[in-house]
Amino acid sequence: MKNFKSHFQFGKEQKSGIFFLLLLIVIFQAIYYLVSNGVFTSKNNSLLHNKELQVVIDSLKNQSVKKNTYKMYPFNPNYITDYKGYKLGMSIKEIDRLHLYRETGKYVNSIEEFKKVTNVSDSLLKAISPYFKFPDWKASKFGKKITVANKSSKNINYTVKDINNATAIDLQVVSGIGEKISSRIVKFRDRLGGFVVNEQLQDVYGLDKEVLNRLLKQFKVISKPVISKININEASAYEISKLVYIKYDVAKAIVAYREENGRFTSFNDLVNIEGFTVNKIDRIKLYLSID
């Protein structure tokens, strides 16, 4: 029995060797496990994944650029709308400068004048100016604007349409009427409940006489709206102020005048009201009664 035990008894050095061997086995097993599970290759895989992801992103960017590329055709820069200006790369201020200039009844007649009016950058001007198509009028060598008369234009017969049924886009067929002016005409018409007479178009802000004359060749008041007239001898200041042409302080003055002087007997009495717009009395009285 003693001999049997002696075969399994180890010295101190032997025990250390066995322990070291077992430790190596454990270490190799751990390394094998980590390698087989891709721990040491995860960084490389991550880099590869990132590269593949970047390729996809770049591809999507290229597709987006192609999709958003605005294909340009020759156009008259005088009629650049907010949307077109945005697509061309103009800022809001640059677009507004052009619209304000056009609202004065003036036209841009050269690339240099467009630059001066809008103050666009040289790089943008270089990109879009080749597509400018100016109208018949051009700047002369001496800087004066000349108009090429179209003899046949006076003989053009337009089919007159009802301005009370026209959309903002319909109105833009008239030379000099762009997105802003057409929108103002429609909004003013809606506030009135419809135009009663053509002269009311004179009250649209920014619509100059020359453009108005061109507009009236193609659009006129044909179907008149039904109006509920306001009796200025009975109505309150608030009710009178509902009329587009009369502000609340003027409406109060009308009521005060009525209370002090009695009932109105003529629309001409309104000229005595402080702040009343005398030059529009013919249009204002379309909405009033003195019964």
* Tens-place pLDDT, residues 264-290: 998 888 988 888 888 888 888 899 998
Q: What is the pLDDT of residue 188?
A: 93
Q: Whole domain around residue 193: which residue ranges?
A: 155-220
Q: What share of the chain is helix, strand, coil (3-state, %, to 5)?
A: 60, 5, 35
d(CA 171, CA 179): 9
DSSP for 44-101, written as a single string: HHHHHHHHHHHHHHHHHHHHHHHHH------B-GGG--HHHHHHHT--HHHHHHHHHH
Highest mean pLDDT among 48-57, 83-92, 132-141: 83-92
The predicted-structure confidence for 151-186, as pLDDT tens digits, reads as follows 444 456 678 999 999 999 899 888 889 889 999 999
Residue 6 placed within a domain: no
Cα separations (Å) of 111 from 23, 115, 116, 124, 177? 85, 6, 9, 12, 21
The predicted-structure confidence for 181-224, as pLDDT tens digits, reads as follows 999 999 999 999 999 999 999 999 989 899 999 999 999 999 99
* pLDDT at residue 251 is higher than 90: yes
Q: What is the pLDDT of residue 143?
A: 39
162 and 198 share one domain: yes
Q: What is the pLDDT of residue 146?
A: 37
162 and 140 share one domain: no
Question: 240-272 burial, b if ≥16 CB within 10 A, otherwise e?
Answer: bbebebbeeebbbbbbebbeeeeebeeeebbee
Query: Do residues 219 and 171 touch, judged by C-beta distance below 8 A?
Result: yes
**Which comes out higher in pLDDT, residue 134 or 61?**
134
- Lowest-pLDDT choice from 4-8, 73-77, 188-192, 234-238: 4-8
144 and 161 share one domain: no
142 and 160 share one domain: no
Residue 86 placed within a domain: yes
Residue 122 placed within a domain: yes
Q: Which residues pair with 138 in a beta bridge?
A: 146
Residue 180 placed within a domain: yes
- Lowest-pLDDT choice from 33-37, 77-81, 123-127, 268-272: 33-37
Name the pLDDT band for 238 (thresholds 50, 70, 90). very high
Residue 289 sits at φ, ψ, to 5 deg, of -140, 160
Q: What is the pLDDT of residue 87?
A: 85
Mean pLDDT value across the chain: 79
Q: For 139-159, what is the mean pLDDT?
A: 47
Query: Do residues 224 and 239 touch, judged by C-beta distance below 8 A?
Result: no
Residue 3 placed within a domain: no
Does pTM top 0.85 for this prediction? no
Highest mean pLDDT among 28-42, 91-105, 245-259: 245-259
Q: What is the pLDDT of residue 75?
A: 82
Residue 2 placed within a domain: no
* pLDDT at residue 101 is higher than 60: yes
Nearest residue to 132 via CA among 75, 87, 70, 73? 75
Q: What is the pLDDT of residue 103?
A: 82
How many structural domains is the chain composed of?
A: 4
90 and 106 share one domain: yes
43 and 88 share one domain: no
Residue 10 placed within a domain: no
Domain endpoint, select from 199, 220, 241: 220
Residue 143 placed within a domain: yes
Name the pLDDT band for 148 (thresholds 50, 70, 90). very low
**Which comes out higher in pLDDT, residue 59 or 186?**
186
